[in-house]
Amino acid sequence: MSSVAFHLHTDDPRVQSLSIADPRMGALIALIGEVKTNTQEPHFASIARSIISQQISVKAAATIRRRVVELAGELSPAALSAQTDEKLRSAGLSTAKVAYIRDLCNKVLAGEVNLEQLHQLSDEEAAAKLVSIKGIGKWTAEMFLIFGLGRENIMSYGDAGLQRAAKWLHQLDERKDRKYLQQVSHLWAPYSSIASTYLWEAINQGHVDSGETLSQRMSNSQSV
């Protein structure tokens, strides 16, 4: 099963609700406009890809993923299980990641974790199933809930980018604990995932790290 997590525009009732609940978010939405997240891979491939990509650069992750796919033929439980540890390590996977991939394959093949039924579970239940897999932490589970399952009300407090973007959006005072989302995320329920999508896009478009406030960015965009 694959999916498009979100296709957002200003006429979307969820987006309009966010704009009313948080006028600053509404201004950001107006500045950014339409946002469409990428079509996701099948669930198993998406999670395997996440494990492969952990704690390495985007370029290195892409190279290793390509080698693993060339070796196994595809990112599937049967194909990866058929490979020896030595072959997987030769493709660039660390010993730990080989163990994580094995655990993922074993749990899926044994029916311990049914990825295609995750959509039937609550956010909490689905996250618990995912973190039961070695190498899947809270942040990875949250990203899968948002982009793999299209869950609308996930707030990833451990995401440093979201924390930074929330500080910028609401011009919050500096904090040693970096807990900026905790001050304002209540405004975004029940559409926290959608708010997060706009915050990530604000980073991608260079607004958050521009050195300018949201008001200044809007003024500049209107004068162009």
| Domains located in the chain, CATH noted | 7-38+154-223 (1.10.1670.40), 43-147 (1.10.340.30)
**pLDDT at position 3:** 52
Kindly tell me if the per-residue pLDDT of 223 is higher than 70. Answer: no
Kindly tell me if the per-residue pLDDT of 1 is higher than 60. Answer: no
pLDDT band at 39 (very low <50, low <70, confident <90, very high): low
CB of 136 within 8 A of CB of 50?
A: yes
Kindly tell me if the per-residue pLDDT of 113 is higher than 90. Answer: yes
Buried b (16+ CB within 10 A) or exposed e, 153-168: ebbbeebeebbbbbbb
pLDDT in tens, 78-88: 999 999 999 99
Place of tokens 């997240």: 37
Kindly tell me if the per-residue pLDDT of 5 is higher than 70. Answer: no
What's the pTM value of the predicted model, to 2 decimals?
A: 0.88
Place of tokens 């694959």: 2
Of the candidates 37, 29, 25, the one whose C-alpha atom is nearest the C-alpha of residue 10 is 29
**pLDDT at position 224:** 53
DSSP state of 41: P
Percentage of the chain surpassing pLDDT 70?
96
**pLDDT at position 2:** 46
Residue count of the chain: 224
36 — phi, psi (to 5°)? Answer: -130, 120
